[in-house]
Every structure is written in C-alpha cells, then in structure tokens.
Amino acid sequence: MIEFDEATHTYKVDGVAKPSVTTILKDVGLFPDFYGTAEEREYYMQRGTMVHLAVQNMAEWILSCDQAVKVPDGKIRSTMMNYISKQDSRIEGYLWSFIKFLDSQWYPKVMASEKKVFSKAYNYCGTIDMSADVMLAGYFCEAVIDFKCGQPEPEYAYQLGAYALAEYPENYSAKVRLGVYLDKEGKLPKVKQYGEASDFQVFQSARYIYSKQRGKS
C-alpha cells in the first residue's frame, strides 16, 4: 500500500519510506532547479500546487461523469467554466489551457488522475498527473502525462520515463509519454512527446547512484 504525505512530499510503502522520482533526479543533478529568490520560489511552488490541484479536480469530474474522450458541451463543461471563474487569477489561464488540451488533436480519454505508483524493481515511488488514452497516428494509445506551468526541459523526459517504468514494468517502452506545458494566457499548451529509449537508462543510472550515495537500495 502506497502512502503519501502531501506536506512533506514523502512516500511510504507498507510503512517503509521510499524515495520519489523527483527526489532521485534532483539529488543527482538531473532535474531543473530554480535560482530566484526565496519569495519567487515560494510563489512558483504555490502556483504549481494550485494548478495541479485544479487540474486534478477537473479530471476527476470527467471520470465521475464517464465523459472520457473530450470535454462535452453540456453539464460538465458548464461546471468547469464555473469552477475556473472562482479560482485564483494567477492560475485561470493555465486551466483554460488544460481545457484546450482536452479538446485538442490528442483527444485524451482520461483514465486516472494523480495516480500513485511504486516500482518494485527499482524501489521508488511517484505520482502520475494523468493516465489517458490519446490519439496518435489514428489510434488510441496508453499515455503517461505530466503537466507543467513552465517551459520544456530535457530532464523532464527522465521523470516521465520513471513513471512509465513504475506503472508498466513489463512494457514501459511501448507507452506514450507526454509533457503538457500549460499556457498562462489560456492558449493551447505545448505538448512534447518523449520517446528516447535512453530516458529509461538515464533514470535507472540515477537510481543506482542515489542508492550508492546512501549505502542502501
């Protein structure tokens, strides 16, 4: 059983603490860091938390209404619009951008939101922002999706690779991995598909280094 403490961003499995994907990557220097002031860091962290919570709420509404291919024009869209209008002005644009992603060529069929995963093979945990079937080359394919408020960074490929590795240990390389970069002005987000096999190898190496530095698995 996976336990997650939101306040400390820590995971436990059957009562035993496990490192997170981002903890591992940050520890070995493979995750973007923020170099602004403490106040700026707090602002961006708070904004990111608010956006992720709001996106989670909207994704869960889609799941509860069993409307999984696109955001419909009826009750759930009205509910979302009303919800967005009540949010902090700093995140409204990002939420409209999320809705435009749902209406995009990817036609995401939402399967799960904020899903906690654990890799038995590599002994780490993480949270997938969204699992969905997406349209790719005329077919629906299983995808692991991570939402960001900033710009694409190469290191995010390793993060998504780690999530796929934990969620689909038998066929992780066959899964679609999407970084969705929400736009603060509410425009269609940038969507980057990550597909390098080396992404998994880099994370596996990072996990090994992390363990060696601590003298444990």
User: Given this model, what pLDDT does residue 66 score?
Assistant: 61
pLDDT value of residue 70: 47
**CATH assignment of 2-214, among 2.40.160, 1.10.3470, 3.40.1350, 3.90.320:** 3.90.320
Q: Nearest CA to 126 among 149, 146, 143, 150?
A: 146
Q: What is the DSSP string of 157-191?
A: HHHHHHHHHHH-TTTGGGSEEEEEE--TTSPPPEE
Q: Give the burial class of 92: count Cβ atoms within 10 A of its Cβ; 0-12 exposed, 13-18 middle, 19 or more buried.
A: middle
Instruction: Decide: helix, strand or coil at residue 15.
Output: coil
The confidence score (pLDDT) of residue 68 equals 46
* pLDDT at residue 97 in the model: 96
For 59-111, the pLDDT digits (tens) are: 988 888 765 444 545 667 778 888 999 999 999 999 999 999 988 999 998 99
Q: Write out pLDDT tens, residues 142-166.
A: 999 999 998 898 899 999 999 999 9
Reported as a single tens digit per residue, the pLDDT across 27-67 is 999 987 776 788 888 888 899 999 999 999 999 888 887 65
pLDDT in tens, 180-214: 999 999 999 999 999 999 999 999 999 999 999 98
Determine the Cα–Cα distance for residues 75 and 198; give it in Å rounded to an integer. 44
69 vs 114, residue with greater confidence = 114
Ramachandran region, residue 167 (left: φ > 0; alpha: ψ -120 to 50; beta: rest): alpha
- Mean pLDDT within 123-133: 96
Residue 131: name the closest of 150, 147, 117, 112 by CA.
Answer: 112
Q: What is the mean pLDDT of residues 168-179?
A: 95
What's the whole-number average pLDDT of the chain? 91
pLDDT at 217: 59
